[in-house]
């Protein structure tokens, strides 16, 4: 942050559904990352150069009372907020405007966050949006800066404590996969598999799926964002499960493609093995110093060779390809890796070199619509010089492991 500047972070809203219904609360990841506070109507202000030592870091919380405790449950007291965050100065939210005024007049620069994510498409006004408008209206002569580039970088390099939580999320996912492999057989419905996974998540203290699950059998596996999960799993088909547990607000993200009847056909083995080889090759080059653009180009080269061997594309296709949409994209049309952390598609730079301690998925796939066959494999990796840490190494992925688990 620049000298004599402050930054402000707001919690998320509790979003309405209909009548008096609301969606489950999910905290804004920036305020959670910086303070550990997982409660609505909270504000964090950071002011490193504040003249008043008590105002270098300040939390504002909604004051609780007996009625709130009866109807909604316990909320943070000032003492509990300090124990959670380590922030000593805690005020009630009703005092925010008065106290913030003294801080803002002392500061020359105000840092404000926005949802700076390449895939973001906000259709609703957030608490952050409203605060940004309020702040600029009431303090029009201040200089404003974007805080997202600073926080996004901090969040992209994981602390050991974060990796431990993500490993726990992956361990819960492993238990769910083990349960699903023993459950799946011809005739079960995709939503029944989803229910088996959810059961295992909840009984292991996960809040549930880290994202909307994909349970896609047969042709459905060729629809990249298939989430209906309402079809019957048929003998001879492959089912693609893109699922992951959330634990302590941290995500896991796994994909497995498995035979509904417990045994791959020769053709299915051929495609599966090609995807697995690309995944292993990608893991070797996802190392500190490479950029995601160069990494994805190299993975595309790996996939091109596999598709040539499979006869799905020809050398002529490669020679005549459009560099902006290479020949391999006909069967592998999405990216290979994304950041993962508090968000399943976590924040981080897509242009700067990758660093040790960042966590990425690796998820190549081959989708052959004319054969109703979609294969994708995905694990989560901590980038480490000399060899990455696979947080899902204990989850079956080899053909023999999958078949053995399904038939045990």
For residue 285, which of 376, 367, 353 has the smallest C-alpha distance?
353
> Is 334 assigned a catalytic role?
yes
Q: Which of 146, 199, 203, 334 is catalytic?
A: 334
Give the integer Cα–Cα distance in Å for 279 and 376.
Answer: 10
Q: Which of 40, 190, 200, 242 is catalytic?
A: 242
> Is 203 assigned a catalytic role?
no
Task: State the CB neighbour count (10 A cutoff) for residue 283.
Answer: 17
Q: Which of 295, 339, 367, 381 is catalytic?
A: 367
Give the integer Cα–Cα distance in Å for 375 and 217.
Answer: 10
Q: Which of 132, 155, 256, 376 is catalytic?
A: 376
Please say whether the dihedral angle defined by the alpha carbons of residues 16, 21, 24 and 25, taken in this order, is positive or negative: positive
Q: Which of 179, 207, 296, 345 is catalytic?
A: 345
Strands 359-362 and 208-209: unpaired
> Is 253 assigned a catalytic role?
yes
> Is 401 assigned a catalytic role?
no
Give the integer Cα–Cα distance in Å for 104 and 87.
Answer: 19
218-228 burial code (b ≥16 CB/10 A, e <16): bbbbbeeebee
The residue whose two tokens read 């270098």 is: 56
Contact 206, 165 (CB under 8 A): no
Element (H, E) at 207: none
Q: Which of 74, 161, 225, 370 is catalytic?
A: 225
Q: Which of 246, 363, 380, 403 is catalytic?
A: 363
> Is 338 assigned a catalytic role?
yes
Strands 109-112 and 143-146: parallel
Give the integer Cα–Cα distance in Å for 64 and 235.
Answer: 56
Torsion of CA 277, 280, 284, 288, to 10 degrees: 130
Q: Which of 194, 378, 380, 403 is catalytic?
A: 378
Task: State the CB neighbour count (10 A cutoff) for residue 329.
Answer: 16
Contacts of 49 (CB under 8 A, 6+ apart): 3, 4, 5, 107
Q: Which of 338, 343, 346, 380 is catalytic?
A: 338
Q: Which of 57, 253, 343, 346 is catalytic?
A: 253
Q: Which of 20, 161, 319, 322 is catalytic?
A: 20
Q: Which residues pair with 250 in a beta bridge?
A: 247
> Is 20 assigned a catalytic role?
yes
- Catalytic residue numbers, as ranges: 20, 225, 242, 253, 334, 338, 345, 363, 367, 376, 378
């Amino acid at each position: 942050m620049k000298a004599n500047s402050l930054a402000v972070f707001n919690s998320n809203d509790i979003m309405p559904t209909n009548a008096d219904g609301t969606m489950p609360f999910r905290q804004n990841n920036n305020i959670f990352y910086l303070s550990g506070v997982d409660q609505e109507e909270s504000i964090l202000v950071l002011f490193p150069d504040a003249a008043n030592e008590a105002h270098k870091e300040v939390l504002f919380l909604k004051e609780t009372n007996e009625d709130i405790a009866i109807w909604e449950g316990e909320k943070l007291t000032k003492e509990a907020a300090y124990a959670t965050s380590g922030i000593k100065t805690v005020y009630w939210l009703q005092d925010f405007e008065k106290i913030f005024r003294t801080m803002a007049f002392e500061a020359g620069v105000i840092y404000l966050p926005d949802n700076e994510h390449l895939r973001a498409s906000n259709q609703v006004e957030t608490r952050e949006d409203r605060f940004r408008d309020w702040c600029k209206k009431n303090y029009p002569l201040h200089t404003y800066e974007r805080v997202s580039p600073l926080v996004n970088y901090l969040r992209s390099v994981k602390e050991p404590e974060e990796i431990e939580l993500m490993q726990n999320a992956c361990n819960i996912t492993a238990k769910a996969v083990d349960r699903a492999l023993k459950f799946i057989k011809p005739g079960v419905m995709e939503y029944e598999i989803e229910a088996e996974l959810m059961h295992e998540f909840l009984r292991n203290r996960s809040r549930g799926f880290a994202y909307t699950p994909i349970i896609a059998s047969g042709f459905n596996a060729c629809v990249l964002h298939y989430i209906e999960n309402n079809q019957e799993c048929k003998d001879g088909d492959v089912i693609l499960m893109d699922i992951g547990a959330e634990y302590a607000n941290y995500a896991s993200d796994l994909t497995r493609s498995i035979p509904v009847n417990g045994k791959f056909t020769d053709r299915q083995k051929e495609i599966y093995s090609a995807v697995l080889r690309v995944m292993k090759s990608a893991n070797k080059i996802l190392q500190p110093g490479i950029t995601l653009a160069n990494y994805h180009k190299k993975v595309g080269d790996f996939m091109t060779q596999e598709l040539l061997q499979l006869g799905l594309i020809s050398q002529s296709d490669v020679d005549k390809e459009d560099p902006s949409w290479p020949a391999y994209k006909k069967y592998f049309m999405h990216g290979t890796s994304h950041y993962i952390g508090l968000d399943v598609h976590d924040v981080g730079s897509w242009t700067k070199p990758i660093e040790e301690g960042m966590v990425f998925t690796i998820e190549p796939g081959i989708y052959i619509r004319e054969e109703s066959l979609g294969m994708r494999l995905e694990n989560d990796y901590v980038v480490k010089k000399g060899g990455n840490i696979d947080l899902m190494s204990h989850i079956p992925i080899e053909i023999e492991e999958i078949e053995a688990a399904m038939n045990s």
